[in-house]
A and B are shown apart, each in its own frame.
Chain A
Amino acid sequence: MHAMTFIGPVILLGVVLGFVTMAILFERKVIGWMQGRHGPNRVGPWGVLQSVADVLKLLLKEDIIPHQADRPLFKWAPIIAFVPAFAVLAVIPYTPTVYFADIGVGLLYYIAISSITTIGVLAGGWASNNKYALLGAMRSAAQMISYEIPLVMAVIGVIMSVGSLNLMTIVEAQKNLWFILPQFIGFAVFFVASLAELNRTPFDLPEAESELVAGYHVEYTGFRFAFFMLAEYVYVFAMAGLTTVLYLGGWNPLFGMTFIPPIIWFVFKFSLIVFSLFWIRATLPRIRIDQLMQLGWKVLLPLALANIFLSAILKEIPWIGQFY
């Protein structure tokens, strides 16, 4: 038993919380710039402390539980939603030396654990005993389960190429070529499905403030609300990390530029994904729910299935087969 087994996760938790506060600030800044505004710039120099102030404000807010709500479940729901969000980070390798759990079924672990969050969302919406909340929770759950299928199917092309579910092995298999090139269809399906899993624009229907007020967390205030939001942003961290690992070669350098340390490469690719999420939010409008469900089942799922067999066939073609 190593001391790092206990200290490492605590350090990572600090890093993740720091990331979340900065990511929220940058999201607002980036969207502000894209819309010709300044974004938050009052609290601290350049608005750096804006999110910190927001968190402190949430901590000092009164905790209101509606009298019709199911109290025990109302209190548990944000925790059920948050725990898996942090637990999935255990399997993501950052560099050849910075990783926490090197398990054989790492990829499937991520997918399995992240599916628990849907239960937390449903429990929160149901326990609020509010029409908007339950409707938002049901929509959110329907969306999350519908896009989980294309998400997991899209990755199969990568697994066929590597022959392992271990995320370290998957990164090492991308020494020469990142999977974003040979598995481009898989990557496209994965990226779109991950946007929907993260409930981000253009798939932010669960929140849809113009029709559902705020979705499943209408009744939540203060820090309980903060934990739902935190879970969402921790998933942004996790999903950006997973996309980097699966398709962008993890810590592997581009053009053999090994003088840049692996962690910098990882952070660079990771930031690129996070930036694209903000960029997409500033660019695309929200889609309708019928379009959402049809996109998932009628477009992404058949594409993901076709990608599996396409990869298998391309394996057979001489020369091209070496990339699959």
Chain B
Amino acid sequence: MPNLLFQFISITADLVIFIFIGFYLWKLRREENALEKKETKADTSYHQIVDDALGKERKIMEDAVSEADQIIVNAEYIKNSSKEIVDKALQQMVAHIQKESIETASKFMSSYSDSLKELASTSLVDFENVAKGLEGDLQRQIKEFRETLLPDLKKELEDYKQIRLKQSDEIINQVIQKASQEVMNKSISLEDHQKILTDALEKAKTEGVFD
């Protein structure tokens, strides 16, 4: 009997264990399902978020491109407009400068011409005055020259002329003398030279040179 009890208890215990294990497995399965659900839900949410993000990104990119295109178009327009404005302004400036230049040049020419006329008139008068003064000074200097320096100069010139004439005469005489001597020397024949030499010895003998 005790064995039966024991068996009963053992069977009961086994049953309890089996129940516990079955409950535990059921609970585990349940948690697993819950987790799978959560995972599925999370995955679905993730994909949703990614899709949303991609959609938003695409939208942002499209908006940016559209905005950029708009900016470029606006910029082109502004550029073209600005160029036209600047060109127009430049043309106006050139025309203005040209006009101003012509006016300035005309004024300058007129002023220069007037100045030249005035200067020429003044210079001519000054020159006449200077020339008159110079002529007077020169006449005075010539008068002084004739009265003071000229007589001395004449005398010095005359003395110089005489000295030079004398020097020239001396040189000419020397040249003539030398030339005459050479000519006469060459014109005497060897025989005559010897004869004159013998006469010279005779003369020396007569003068007692050989005594």
B and A form one assembly? no
